[in-house]
Amino acid sequence: MTAPDERKLTDMLRDVGLRPTRQRLALAGLLFAHGDRHVTAEELHREAAETGLSVSLATVYNTLNQFSDAGLLRQVITDGARTFYDTNTRDHYHFYAEEDGRLIDIPADQIDLGRLPPPPDGARLAGVDVIIRLRKAGA
Amino acid sequence: MTAPDERKLTDMLRDVGLRPTRQRLALAGLLFAHGDRHVTAEELHREAAETGLSVSLATVYNTLNQFSDAGLLRQVITDGARTFYDTNTRDHYHFYAEEDGRLIDIPADQIDLGRLPPPPDGARLAGVDVIIRLRKAGA
DNA sequence: ATTTGTGCAAATCGTTTGCATCTGA
DNA sequence: TCAGATGCAAACGATTTGCACAAAT
């Protein structure tokens, strides 16, 4: 919960085999310094710019994808219009508020997914995504 | 389960407020004639061409979206790369085989979603998507 | 006659890639 | 030194849109 210092971030990156470059450290700082977050590439890019770091959007995308491949982030697909990157890699689910495009974590223990059907034939289970879509209460 | 005839399709479209045009009838025929299906716009477009109907891809997209808005179809998002349109609008869930991009229905009664968390504040539940991701069994 | 749909091509939007240039180990 | 990273711009693929023409009520 407390902001990881530069040293910790460096180690985190080394641990997953990524070089702790200036931009990766800075982006990791933005991502992991303040508890769980859901960011899009655009958002992180803007945020980086605001804190004085100049990174190209392409590098933000590359970095987010590298972090995801390394298991530091998890991608969340909602409506296909954009990809969210979730710093919470534990087992959990999501509310998705369609109008404002907001994503809200649902801890795993709040949904009881008993009795999943077995994976077909030669397939193994790679993950379970649960998205609860929300609309405004009216109508 | 039996192929709906032209008359039934016409009524179906009228019922949801869509004019039964030639292309809409033809696409509806492809979609609803053979039980539950998951199609992408590209697939349906190709299929239409194969059966001798010339429709533009834009019209296929427009039609699929109109059908979805009208409740005749349901969109399924898997990896953000493409949108599937599901002719099964009943409550149910999906397996998604990542390697071959195949979608498999899971009947609602095969997953027990007891105890959903209540929607936050002024939001109402608009839908629940469950996607079980599959990989090849090896590794 | 009037409204609604269609086709086409161009536009959009998020995301990825190629390549020349930097940078960390 | 030198593999690996970065930046930029161009490429991309799925989807949407603008507009002139055609078809349905």
Residue that is last in its domain, among B84, B103, B126 = B84
Q: Pick A135's closest partner by Cβ from B116, B126, B134.
A: B126
Same domain? For A17 and A75 the reply is yes
Does B114 score more than 50 pLDDT?
A: yes
Residue A27 domain-assigned?
yes
Same domain? For B79 and B126 the reply is no
pLDDT value for A114? 79
pLDDT value for A139? 59
Helices in A16-110 by DSSP H: which ranges?
22-32, 41-50, 57-70
Residue that is last in its domain, among A43, A66, A84 = A84
Residue B107 domain-assigned?
yes
Cβ contact, residue pair B110, A125, below 8 Å: no
Q: Residue B109 corresponds to which tokens in the numbers above?
A: 């009664």
Q: What is the mean pLDDT of chain A?
A: 92
Does B79 score more than 60 pLDDT?
A: yes
Same domain? For B23 and B74 the reply is yes
pLDDT value for B56? 95
Q: What is the mean pLDDT of chain B?
A: 93
Does A3 score more than 70 pLDDT?
A: no
Which band of pLDDT confidence, cut at 50, 70 and 90, is reported for residue B121?
Answer: confident
Q: Is the Cβ of A1 closer than 8 Å to some Cβ of chain B?
A: no
Return the CATH number at B15: 1.10.10.10
- Taking the C1' atom of D23, which residue's CA lies nearest? B21
Q: Pick A124's closest partner by Cβ from B117, B129, B135.
A: B135
Does A30 score more than 60 pLDDT?
A: yes
Chain B residues in contact with A78 by the CB 8 A cut-off are 77
Please write the tens of the pLDDT for every residue from A48-101.
999 999 899 999 999 999 999 999 999 999 999 999 999 999 999 999 999 889
What's the CA B2/C1' D14 distance, rounded, in angstroms? 33
Chain A residues in contact with B84 by the CB 8 A cut-off are none
User: Distance, in angstroms, between A111 CA and closest chain B CA?
Assistant: 6
Q: What is the mean pLDDT of residues B83-98?
A: 96
Instruction: Spell out the long-range contacts of A123-127 with Cβ–Cβ below 8 A and sequence spacing 24 or more.
Output: A123/B95, A123/B97, A123/B134, A123/B135, A123/B136, A123/B137, A124/B134, A124/B135, A124/B136, A124/B137, A125/B132, A125/B133, A125/B134, A126/B98, A126/B133, A126/B134, A126/B135, A127/B132, A127/B133
pLDDT value for B89? 96
Same domain? For A64 and A12 the reply is yes
Does A103 score more than 50 pLDDT?
A: yes
Query: Residue A49 sits in which domain range?
Result: 3-84
Which band of pLDDT confidence, cut at 50, 70 and 90, is reported for residue A1?
Answer: very low
pLDDT value for B115? 84
Enumerate residues near strand C (beta carbon within 7 A): A 19-22, 40-42, 57-58, 61-62, 65, 81-83; B 18-19, 21-24, 54-56, 58-59, 62-63, 66, 80
pLDDT value for B105? 96
Does B3 score more than 60 pLDDT?
A: no
Same domain? For A62 and A121 the reply is no
Does A21 score more than 70 pLDDT?
A: yes
Cβ contact, residue pair B119, A136, below 8 Å: no
A 101-120 → B contacts, CB under 8 A: 104, 106, 110-117, 119-120
Same domain? For A57 and A106 the reply is no
Same domain? For B53 and B100 the reply is no
Cβ contact, residue pair A124, B137, below 8 Å: yes
Residue that is last in its domain, among A51, A67, A84 = A84
Residue A139 domain-assigned?
no
pLDDT value for A22? 95
Q: What angle do CA A83, A86, A90 make, to 5 degrees?
A: 135
User: Distance, in angstroms, between B96 CA and closest chain A CA?
Assistant: 10
Q: What is the mean pLDDT of residues B80-98?
A: 96
Does B1 score more than 70 pLDDT?
A: no
Same domain? For B100 and B72 the reply is no
What's the CA B36/C1' C12 distance, rounded, in angstroms? 32
Which band of pLDDT confidence, cut at 50, 70 and 90, is reported for residue B4?
Answer: low
Q: What is the mean pLDDT of residues A8-29?
A: 96
B19 touches strand D (CB under 7 A): yes
